[in-house]
Amino acid sequence: MRSTRYSAREREAVARWDVARPPWPSRTAGVSLAGFRDRSAGPVDMRAVPHPAVTLVLELGDGSLVVDTATGRQQLTSLVAGLGHGALHVRGENIECVEVRLSPVVAYALLGTSPAELEHVVVSLDDLWGRGAPRFREQLSEARSWQDRFALTDALLACRGETGPPVDLQVAWCWDRIVGSRGRVRIDELAAEVGWSRKRLWSRFRAQVGLPPKRAAKLVRFDHAVHRLAAGEDAARIAVDSGYVDQSHLHRDVLEFTGMTPATMAREPGLAVHDIT
């Protein structure tokens, strides 16, 4: 957890959630871990805002997560949400979970499924790992501390990464450029820099990352802007700094990714929870 002064919105999240992070970086580049435990007595009801990563959540208690998506409602003890999944409505009680965020360039190797197969969908980890998923979840539940849980998760992912299929070096390089530029790099420039045609870059990037490069850049730009909005910064200034044509352009992107206006989205508790990690 960062040692800075919290906003009122973040103080509310701190009061409700115990948030843990491992004291060491993951053994696998592109992997981040966090632990969340709801310390309140009431039900959790929040929206998960789209993020430029494949998200894995493992519920450790006796309950389950009720997840509403555009395609229906699911009751899950684990979930995998693809890149650019759209706003998810998540409910539950006494939530205690490990969350793993995977860069799309390592997600295929670690999950065994291409991110392209997860676009705009939410599935159970059981669907991807079979019987290994509930066994792993049981091990995590029996671990005595968050650090033990993180160590178990990191070791398993590192092992899977050693045998999983890698993405093209050019695709990984383009993804890093998109993230490093906060989504403001031109796709024609990326194609020229890796020596590919625009069509080839689109095809290989889409197949291995899960989104076309332009859409991926749009998601990264949105993610950067939305956390600044949640921090209370001026929307017009954010639009200029983030490469939007104007504030209306930013408004349209937020509405497209979340189904909410920027003002409504900025108050979502899910953003606050992640901002305090």
Low-confidence ranges of the chain (pLDDT < 50): 1-6
For 275, counting Cβ atoms within 10 Å of its Cβ (0-12 exposed, 13-18 middle, 19+ buried), the class is: middle
Q: Among 163, 179, 211, where does a domain finish?
A: 163
Same-domain status, 117 and 201? no
Residue 3 inside a domain? The answer is no
pLDDT for 55-86, tens place per residue?
999 998 777 788 887 677 888 889 898 887 66
pLDDT, residue 260, reads 87
Q: Residue 110's domain spans which residues?
A: 8-163
pLDDT, residue 266, reads 81
pLDDT, residue 205, reads 96
| Cα–Cα distance, 251 to 40 (Å, whole number) | 33
Same-domain status, 193 and 88? no
pLDDT, residue 3, reads 41
3-class secondary structure per residue, 85-100: CCCEEEEECCCEEEEE
Pairing between strand 44-48 and 72-76? Answer: unpaired
| Cα–Cα distance, 98 to 24 (Å, whole number) | 16
pLDDT, residue 82, reads 86
Which two three-digit tokens encode residue 128?
């991807």
pLDDT, residue 149, reads 97
Stated pTM of the model: 0.89
| Cα–Cα distance, 40 to 67 (Å, whole number) | 20
Q: Among 132, 148, 163, where does a domain finish?
A: 163
DSSP assignment, residue 5?
P
Q: Please report, to the nearest 10 degrees, the dihedral formed by the alpha carbons of residues 107, 100, 266, 179 taken in order.
A: -40
DSSP assignment, residue 234?
-
Q: Among 163, 195, 225, where does a domain finish?
A: 163
pLDDT, residue 264, reads 86
Q: How many domains does the chain have?
A: 2
